[in-house]
Structure 1
Amino acid sequence: MSIITLTTDFGYKDHSVAAVKAALFSELKNLNIVDISHEVSPFHITEAAYIIKNAYHNFPKGSIHLVGVDAELSPENKHVAILLDGHYFICANNGILSLIASEIKPSKIVEINIHNSIETNFPVLDVFVKVAAHICRGGTLEVIGKSISEIQQIKNLEPIVNDKQNQIIGHIIYIDNYGNVVTNITKKKFTEIAKGRKFVISARNIQMSKVYETYSEAINFKLPKEKREEEGKKLALFNTARYLELAVYKSNPHTVGSAASLFGLKLSDSVSINFENETNYVG
């Protein structure tokens, strides 16, 4: 059974998600459609890139991933089909796969060229569905596009390290359902620059000097519950995707607030880590 995933900024109020699924079912039998997310912020390709990177590899090799974010065809926004890490991706060539392709080189990239035979202003519904159906039937990418050597990269995905190697400047690339803010600073980059030194993480007027392994590690469970510092407890940790995340313990954006609301942070805001010059600290 073929697996096709959908990641879009369509939301659920409109008919778009249902229409795409209906078109896929009309094209293919024995199909399994999985929604990764339809709540990507409108046209936010960095947010989409983060979601896709951390979801796709959990699916079996050969899965097909349709990405409907900033997908309208234009001279500067071509459509591509990509074979990368054993998975197929169908999306606009707008940098949306930069986070994956920066670590794993695509095996094959084609610029889709079947648009002349399809009259549409909804490319995910018509073009992307047709390409996915073609792949599911065993078709090759060369039939639906011309080979190209590279995909577009998103600028500024990598954090900046200063010349003195004592500061990392990153920015927020994702805010999750709990209002936790995720930066583009990876644990690998942090460890590489830190070298055991003390540090201070700064974001607006918030500062932290410790990174926890888990959310609950920030709570002293040896104290009676009424004496614990739980509500509003701010913390930093490397999340399951190994990106630095700023969070509030058991936050709820709709009631007690979250890191995003309480810290006054939003997408693209900067987050810096400053390290002491001495290297005698082991943390």
Structure 2
Amino acid sequence: MAIITLTTDFGYKDPYVSALKGSIYSELDQALLVDISHQVTPFDTQECAYIVKNAFHYFPEGSIHLIGVDAEATPENQHLVVLLQGHYFIVANNGIIELLMGDQQPEKVYSVALPNAASLSFPEIHVLAKVACHLARGGTLEVIGKPFEGLKGTKDFEAHITDNGKKIQGSIEYIDNYGNIITNIDRHLFEAYRNGRDFEILIRDKKITEVYESYSGFVNFELEKSKRKGPGDFLALFNSAGVLEFAIYKSNAKTVGGARTLIGLKHRDPVTIIFN
């Protein structure tokens, strides 16, 4: 049976996560449920897309990903099932799937057509979960919907080139549990326009001229500990998702603070790269 993953902005205080899982088990008691996250900032589609995008490809093809963020149906926010890279995504047409796609094109996009689906206030249970169970049982898309065109674009969330290739203008896309700052500037874009040139990265009042491959990459272990960079120092790296990230080395966001609090950064703050 296919795995069903769950991503929502429900949090854990309320009964919503348990109710969602219970509704799936009531319909499909052998379901294989995996939580991706239930701590997405409410209605933050960009943050949700980043989390799912960097988790789903670790699951086997045929997995079903239920995304319950900004999921209430409206005439402009239809419920969809999207087949992308061999995975099924059950999601509202709110821009999340476009962010997930990147340069890829979906194999299929279907709008969901269940009776009275648009009028329900808990669509994750009454619509998305039912669609997930249908697919997990081997059901086809044609039974629960019809082909759809009109995915919402998300160009406003993409990094872009300015000054005839001399600058990349991006922004903060996500802040993780460590307080690390993750941007929407990916390595491919950076390398394509760098062309061997020196660069400066400007973020708040910081100027950075080197990007590392790992968190400890900026530590010169040949120096004595008292003379080398280490815990508490600010650095930039390309993370495992291939995007530019800023971090405080070995910080703890819950005690001394992370890059978000110590540098004073927040979601969607600008990040600029200047090539010299």
Identify the TM-score tier after normalising by the shorter chain: over 0.9
Q: Which runs of 5+ in 2 are unaligned?
A: none
Question: Aligned AA for 1:6?
Answer: L
What residue in structure 1 maps to residue 59 of structure 2?
Answer: 59
What is the rounded CA distance, in whole Å, between the counterparts of 1:44 and 1:133 in structure 2?
26
Shift of 1:222: 2.1
What residue in structure 1 maps to residue 180 of structure 2?
Answer: 180
Post-superposition CA distance 1:161-219 (Å, at most 9, x none): 11421100000110111111111100000000101111110011011100001110111
Q: Give the TM-score, by structure 1 length.
A: 0.94
Moved more, 57-66 or 69-78: 69-78
Change (3 A) 1:144 1:192: same
CA contact (8 A) 1:219 1:229 kept: yes
Change (3 A) 1:118 1:236: closer
Question: Aligned AA for 2:139?
Answer: G
Q: Which runs of 5+ in 1 are unaligned?
A: 277-283
Aligned pair count? Answer: 276
Moved more, 222-231 or 151-160: 222-231
1:112 is aligned to 2:112: yes
Moved more, 136-145 or 89-98: 136-145
1:165 is aligned to 2:165: yes
What is the rounded CA distance, in whole Å, between the counterparts of 2:130 and 2:47 in structure 1?
26
Change (3 A) 1:91 1:75: same
Post-superposition CA distance 1:217-260 (Å, at most 9, x none): 11122233344332321100100000000111011111121111
CA contact (8 A) 2:117 2:123 kept: no
CA contact (8 A) 1:79 1:112 kept: yes
What residue in structure 2 maps to residue 82 of structure 1?
Answer: 82
What is the rounded CA distance, in whole Å, between the counterparts of 1:47 and 1:124 in structure 2?
19
What residue in structure 2 maps to residue 43 of structure 1?
Answer: 43
What residue in structure 2 maps to residue 281 of structure 1?
Answer: none
What residue in structure 2 maps to residue 20 of structure 1?
Answer: 20
Question: Aligned AA for 1:133?
Answer: C
Percent of counterpart pairs with the same letter?
A: 52
What is the rounded CA distance, in whole Å, between the counterparts of 2:138 and 2:160 in structure 1?
43
- Give the SS at the match of 1:72: coil
CA contact (8 A) 2:3 2:32 kept: yes
Shift of 1:116: 1.6
Q: Give the TM-score, by structure 2 length.
A: 0.96
Shift of 1:269: 0.6
CA contact (8 A) 1:78 1:92 kept: yes
Q: Pairwise mapping of residues 1-283 of structure 1 onto structure 2 (< 5 A)?
A: 1-116=1-116, 120-276=120-276
Moved more, 96-105 or 79-88: 96-105
Shift of 1:124: 0.3
**C-alpha RMSD of the superposition:** 1.4
Shift of 1:82: 1.0
- Give the SS at the match of 1:67: strand
